[in-house]
Amino acid sequence: MQQFQHYIGGAFLDGSAQFESRDPATGHVWAMMPEARGDDVNAAVDAAQAAFVSPDWAGMTASARGKLLYRLADLISEHAPALAALETRDTGKIIRETSAQIAYVADYYRYYAGLADKIEGAHLPIDKPDMEVWLRREPIGVVAAIVPWNSQLFLSAVKIGPALAAGCTVVLKASEEAPAPLLEFARIFDQAGFPPGVLNVITGFGAECGAVLTSHPKVDHIAFTGGPETARRIVRNSAENLATTSLELGGKSPFIVFEDADIESAVNAQVSGIFAATGQSCVAGSRLIISNKIKAAFLARLKEKAEAVIIGAPDDMATEVGPLCTLGQLETAVDLVAKSKAAGATVITGGQKLDRDGSYFPPTIIDCSQAPNAPCLTHEFFGPVLSVLGFDTEKQALHLANDTAFGLASGVFTKDLTRAHRMIRGIRAGIVWVNTYRAVSPIAPFGGHGLSGHGREGGMQAALDYTKTKAVWLRTSDEAIPDPFVMR
């Protein structure tokens, strides 16, 4: 039985309590995790605040911060195989995905390492001849970063990287579901040479940990990835400390295929968009909006590929779809499929829990053409379930794409360039992929509209979001300031 600890103030510490972590592939308990409660959270925030004002960090040059981030990136690359294996064990994500993703995570830290000494201020051409005015960008303060279990090393990198590049300090709350990879990441971070308290890693449950952290008076910014309901609680908590927030909240992303699209390419992208990561992705292309002219042929090819997917143990490199991370996700998938069938939707393939140990649910395709109100069209499964709608006109396709409260990602497949531009303009989403899907880069911003949240992660803007602007006024005249109460 493996035992994990929190990382607070540069030390590895037990929590106020412990809880079990289960292997999604078997359902068996494999590790004990530390549970943070009020005292643990207070200790982590106090450590971050002390580090923020310490000369060791506050007095460090931006270039020196960048060198530490480069060192961290190298260590992540060095330990990537072990981190990938641990994430696969604790979350059920297949090893071929965790290996590829963690290798790319190091590049995010390298990107923000390079940006650390490029966060610049500005000189203002002020309208007063005896004044020089310029703007300084300074770190916003202590950041509470809260991430879900899926893609957690990536989702923490897009918060930790820009926050540290800007000079902030961080308390990272790993999800209580499968926190092992981030607790182990803390050991790698510890080797990089950052001053104690610059990063603190804890895990725990909502009321005892998350609520205390997000309402803490010493927290200045909250960066959260998760669901809208939790986000609403976080925003209410932030009324206590008036912390700024950035929220990335998932979606119900449209995947639009016109009749002139390269069918094989679009099918492959759809397989990746909904079945990769077992559908446990915030940008999953979970709503296929397909031209009725090619719908039958497209779905036949998609069904063939879905049924050929290799479902198996997540630590097997041959596996293409593994288990869902939690039993709750499995129960949600079963329930929503049943309710969608009752609403008139047709299951083309899948739709039933697999008869094996673990939380396995097969790639599932549901045709909702006769059930426009089926719950599978509006609820985020966080699993390998695709809902399908047909369309006849471009206008109808755009209406269906925007018929959602979410607005994170979208995909458009067409060879018609002018049509592509019309769709790009019309779709209400933070990301539009054209003739591709799920492409990401540290250089490009990532975020959504509506219930998909606000703020952006990735790119230069993310680093600026961890700063606040200070206006500096310098009087250049040698003459005495006139007495304001003497009439002239």
Q: How far is CA 457 from CA 51, 73, 276, in A?
A: 24, 18, 22
Extract the runs of DSSP E, i.e. beta strands, from 4-163: 6-8, 11-13, 17-22, 29-35, 122-124, 131-139, 142-146
Cβ–Cβ < 8 Å for 224, 213: no
22, 104: one domain: yes
- Rounded Cα distance between 263 and 468, Å, is 48
Residue 85's H or E segment, with its range, is helix 62-91
Q: Tell me if 382 is assigned to some domain.
A: yes
241, 369: one domain: no
Note the Cα 473 to chain centre separation in Å. Answer: 39
Q: Tell me if 482 is assigned to some domain.
A: no
Q: What residues have CB less than 8 Å from 39, skipping those under 6 apart?
A: 16
Residue type at 392? Answer: D
- Which has the closest alpha carbon to 377: 469, 287, 265? 287
Total domains in the fold of the chain: 2
Q: Tell me if 440 is assigned to some domain.
A: no
- Rounded Cα distance between 258 and 102, Å, is 34
The pLDDT, as a whole number, for residue 250 is: 85
The pLDDT, as a whole number, for residue 399 is: 98
406, 328: one domain: yes
322, 287: one domain: yes
290, 399: one domain: yes
The pLDDT, as a whole number, for residue 246 is: 97
362, 266: one domain: yes
- Rounded Cα distance between 371 and 432, Å, is 26
Q: What's the token pair of residue 190?
A: 């510890």
239, 261: one domain: no
243, 300: one domain: no
Q: What residues have CB less than 8 Å from 462, skipping those under 6 apart?
A: 158, 162, 445, 456
Exposed, middle or buried: residue 39 (CB in 10 Å: 0-12, 13-18, 19+)? exposed
Q: Which residue has the tokens 């499964």?
A: 381
**Whole-prediction pTM value?**
0.94
The pLDDT, as a whole number, for residue 423 is: 98
Q: Tell me if 55 is assigned to some domain.
A: yes
User: How many residues are given for the chain?
Assistant: 488
214, 330: one domain: no
Q: Containing domain of residue 242, as a range?
A: 2-248+458-473
Q: Tell me if 124 is assigned to some domain.
A: yes
Give average pLDDT by consecutive 10-residue segment, the chain, 488 residues.
Answer: 96 97 91 97 98 98 98 97 95 93 94 97 96 97 96 96 98 96 98 98 96 98 96 96 95 97 97 93 96 98 97 94 90 94 96 90 96 93 95 98 96 98 98 96 94 95 96 96 86
Q: What residues have CB less than 8 Å from 477, skipping those under 6 apart?
A: 130
Q: Which strands form 254-257's sheet, in the order they lie side by side?
A: 346-349, 364-367, 385-391, 287-291, 254-257, 411-413, 433-434
277, 415: one domain: yes
CA dihedral 55, 57, 61, 62 (to 10 degrees): -150
343, 467: one domain: no
Q: Tell me if 442 is assigned to some domain.
A: no
Domain of residue 82, CATH code? 3.40.605.10
Main-chain phi, psi angles of 454, to 5 degrees: -145, 165
The pLDDT, as a whole number, for residue 347 is: 97
Instruction: Give the active site residues.
Output: 248
| Bridge partners, 254 (sequence order) | 287
Domain of residue 369, CATH code? 3.40.309.10
Residue type at 134? Answer: W
- Rounded Cα distance between 54 and 458, Å, is 28
Q: How would you label 174-203 residue by residue, b for 16+ Cβ within 10 Å and e otherwise?
A: bbbbbbbbbbbbbebbbebebbbbbbbbbb
291, 233: one domain: no
- Which has the closest alpha carbon to 311: 274, 280, 356, 346? 356
- Rounded Cα distance between 99 and 102, Å, is 6
- 314 DSSP 8-state letter: T
Cβ–Cβ < 8 Å for 465, 246: yes
CA-based R_g, the chain, Å: 25
